[in-house]
Amino acid sequence: MSEESPLQVTPGRSLSLLKARSGLIARGLRDAAELVTQNVPLLSTRRLAEQGDAAAQYELGEAYYKGHGVPRDYAEARVWFRKAADQFHPYAISDLGDMYERGEGVPADQTEASHFYLRAADIAIADGGDWDPDWVLGAVWQGAQYGHADAQFFLGCCYASGKSMLQQDHTEAVKWYRKAADQGHVEAQFNLGWAHENGKGVIQDYGEAAKWWRKAAEQGYSQAQYNLGWADRNGRGVAQDHGEAGIWYCKAAQQGHADAQFELGRKYYGGEGVPQDHTEAVKWYRKAADQGHANAQHNLGVAYYYGKGVAQDFREAAEWVRRAAEQGNETAMFALGYLCQAGQGLPQDHAKAAGWFRQAAERGNTPAQASLGAIYRDGQGVPQDYVQAHMWFNLSASVSSGDEQTRLSAERDGACQRV
Amino acid sequence: MSGQITRRLKPEDEELRRKREELTAIRSALAERELELVDFRNQLAGFEGRYLRQVGTLYAELDEWKARISELRARLDPSPAANAQAEKNREQARQTYEEAHGKASETREFTRSPELRSLFREVAKGIHPDLSKDAADHERRTRFMADANRAYEGGDADALRRILDEYQDGADAVEGEGIGAELVRIIRQISLAKDRVAAIERELVTLRQGEIAMLMKQAEQKQRDGGDLLAELEKSVRGQIDATRNEYEAIAKQEAKPA
C-alpha cells in the first residue's frame, strides 16, 4: 500500500525535483557544468600566479581583463597585471598602460598610462627580448606616441626598412626620425641627414643633410662627423672647406673611425687643408691599417717604400701592401706584383709577380695590364705568349693617354708582329 | 482476518517468539532507514532553498531583463513573431520568479541534534504505519507518523516527545487475540515492514539521481576543493544579468531617439 505513494505516508517537503517544471535546477546544473570546464585551467594558473610566476600572473590578469573563463573584472585584472609588471613582464606593463589610457576600472590617467607605455617601449626596443612581434610593434608605437625618442627612432627604422610587419614607407620613416631628431636623438639626426642626402621620403637636399649631420656631429657621433667632413671636403650642400673637413675628420678619427683616419692621413700626406706632415699621415694610416682598412694599408706600404714620414723599409712596405692585396685591393695587388718582380722587401719571384699582376689586371688595373703584357712578351714567370702580350697591351693602351698610350700601342704592335 | 487458526501448539509458541524477535529487529532497521530518508530529504530541501535564494532569484532577474528586452523589441518593431516571443519570455520570467521565490526557497538548513535523531528513531520504531494491526490502527499510525515527520523537520524535540507519549497511551490496545491470530498479524507486519524498507531504498535512489542531488554533490565536491559552487554560479549569473541589462539599455536608448 504505502510503496505506491510514499509521499503520502511520510509527507516531507515538496521538493522541486519531483515536479516536472523544475527548470531552475537544470539551469543551475548547466551553468555549473560550464563553470567547471571554464575554471579548470584557471585553477592551475591561479596556483602558479600565487606562487609568484610572472607569466601565470599575466595570464590570470588577462583572463579577468578580457573576461575569459571568469567574469570580467578590471580591479582583479589590475592586481595581477601589477604583480606581473613588478617582475618586468612586458605584456602586463602594456596592458596596464591600456587600462589607464582607456580608464578601465580606474579613472583615465594619461600620465600614469605614459609611465607604463614608456616602460614597455624600453623593453620592446632592448636587444635580445624574444617578444611577440605584434606586441613589440604596438609597444614601440605607443611609446613613440608618448614621446619616447628611442621608440620614435626605432619606428622610423622599421618604416625605412619595411621590417617588423610595416610596409616600407620612407615618408613615415622621415616623420618619426624628425620627431626623435628634434628631441636630440643623435642616430635619428644622422638618419634624417641620410634621408635628405638620398632624397628618401623627402626632397633631396644636401644642405639639409649637412645640417642634420652637423647636429649629430656636434653631439660626437663619429659617422656623422665623417660624413660632414666628406661634405665639407666635396662642397656638398655646404661651401667647400678643406680646413673644416680636416677638423671633422680629425674628430671622427680620434674616436677610432677608420675611414676618417684614412682620410685624415691622406690630408696630412697631401697637405690638403692642413700643413703637409708625412709623419702625422703615417700615424693615421697606421691606425686605420691596424683596423684592417685596405686603402690605408696600401698607403702605409707606399709610405714605407718611399720612406716618407717613416724610415724607408721595403720589408714593411711589402708586408702592408700584401695585407691590402689579400683584401682584394687592386692597386695593392699591382704594387705587390711589382715588389715581387723587383725582389724588394721579399724574395724575387716572377711567377708570383705574374699571379698578382693578373689578378689586378683582371680587375681592370691599367698598370697591371701593361706589366702583364710585358711579362708575356718576355716570358718572365710565364711561358712566352705574344697573343696574351698583345691582348694585355691592347687593353691597357685603350684606356691610357699621351706618351704612355703611344708606348703601349707600340708594344702592342710589336707583339702583333711577333705573332 | 484473524480467528481462523485456533489450534494451540507448542511449536507455534516458539514460532511466535521468533517472529516477535524478527519484527523487533526489522522495526529497528526500518526506523534507521526512515531516519536516513528524512535526513536526506531535509538536506536536499535545505540545499535547494539556499540555491533558490542565492542563484534562483538571480535567474528570475535575468529572465525579467530578457522579457523586457523582447517586449521592447516588440514595441519598436511590432510583428506577430516579436509579440509571440515577448509573451513567451514574459511567461518564462513569471514561472522562474514563482519557482525562485516560491515555498521551497524559504527552507533553511540546520543540523538535527543526536537527541532529536534518537527520539525520531524511537517514534519511527513505535508508531510506524507499516506496523499497524488493522485498518483503523494504520490510519492512526499514519497520522502520528506525519506529525512526527513535521516535528523532526522543524527540529521540535518537545513535539516529538509529546507525539510518542500520546501514541503510547493508545498503543497495543488490542488484547486477547489468540496465538495463531497474533502470529499471522506479526508475519503480515514483517512483510509490510520489508516492503517499506524496499520502498525507502527506491526513493533514496530516485532522490540521489535527481537534479538537485546532483547539484548538491557538485557543490560538496567543490567545497572539498576549497571552492564555493553557489558563489561562483551567483557571480556567473550576475555577469549574465549585467550583459543583458546593458543590452536592454542600449535598445532603450535607441527607442528614446526620435524616429
Answer whether A37 touches B (CB < 8 Å).
no
| Residues of chain A with C-beta less than 8 angstroms from the C-beta of B238 | 71
**Shortest CA distance from A3: residue in chain B:** B199
Gap between the Cα atoms of A394 and B252, Å rounded: 95
Indicate the domain borders of chain A.
39-140, 147-248, 256-327, 349-419
> What pLDDT score does A7 carry?
33
Burial class of A306 by CB neighbour count within 10 A (0 to 12, 13 to 18, 19+): exposed
Task: Give backbone dihedrals phi and psi of A88, rounded to 5 degrees, phi first.
Answer: 65, 30
Nearest CA of chain A to the CA of B4: how many Å? Answer: 24
Contact: A6, B215; criterion CB under 8 Å: no
Gap between the Cα atoms of A191 and A150, Å rounded: 13
**Shortest CA distance from B101: residue in chain A:** A24
Answer whether B223 touches A (CB < 8 Å).
no
Indicate the domain borders of chain B.
16-109+175-254
Q: Count of CB atoms within 10 A of residue A153's CB?
A: 27
Judge: domain A147-248, CATH 3.65.10.10. Answer: no
Q: What is the DSSP string of A251-271?
A: HHHHTT-HHHHHHHHHHHHHT
Task: Kindly give the confidence (pLDDT) of every residue in chain A, 419 residues in length, as a single tens digit, with 9 standing for 90 and above.
Answer: 333 333 333 334 445 444 434 588 888 888 887 776 665 667 778 888 888 899 999 999 998 898 777 778 899 899 999 999 999 899 999 999 999 998 888 898 988 999 999 988 888 888 777 888 888 888 888 899 888 999 999 999 989 888 777 788 899 999 999 999 999 999 999 999 999 999 999 999 999 999 999 999 999 999 999 999 999 999 998 998 999 999 999 999 999 999 999 999 999 999 888 899 999 999 999 999 999 999 999 999 999 999 999 999 999 999 999 999 999 899 999 999 999 999 999 999 999 999 999 999 999 888 999 999 999 998 888 888 888 888 888 888 888 888 888 888 888 888 778 77
Gap between the Cα atoms of A94 and A119, Å rounded: 8
Answer whether A6 touches B (CB < 8 Å).
yes
Answer whether A108 touches B (CB < 8 Å).
no
Do A147-248 and A256-327 have matching folds?
A: yes
Which of A11, A17, A32 lies at the smallest CB-CB distance from B146? A11
Instruction: Considering the domain delimited by A39-140, tell me its CATH architecture.
Output: Alpha Horseshoe (1.25)
Gap between the Cα atoms of B144 and B142, Å rounded: 5
**Helices then strands (H, E): number in chain B?**
9, 0
A396 contacts A369 by C-beta, under 8 angstroms: yes
The class level of CATH for A256-327 reads mainly alpha
Contact: A16, B214; criterion CB under 8 Å: no
| Residues of chain A with C-beta less than 8 angstroms from the C-beta of B243 | none
| Residues of chain A with C-beta less than 8 angstroms from the C-beta of B202 | 3
| pTM reported for the whole predicted model | 0.53
Which of A24, A35, A71 lies at the smallest CB-CB distance from B52? A24
User: H-type helices in chain B, by residue range?
Assistant: 10-51, 57-76, 80-101, 114-127, 135-153, 157-170, 179-209, 211-224, 229-256
Start-to-end CA span in chain B (Å): 86
Q: Which residues contact A73 (CB under 8 A, 6 or more apart)?
A: A64, A67
Which of B41, B100, B232 lies at the smallest CB-CB distance from A35? B232
Say which amino acid occupies B117: R
Instruction: Flag residues of chain B having pLDDT under 50.
Output: 1-3, 6-8, 171, 173, 259
Q: What is the DSSP string of A163-207?
A: -TTPPP-HHHHHHHHHHHHHTT-HHHHHHHHHHHHHTSSS---HH
> What pLDDT score does B139 carry?
82
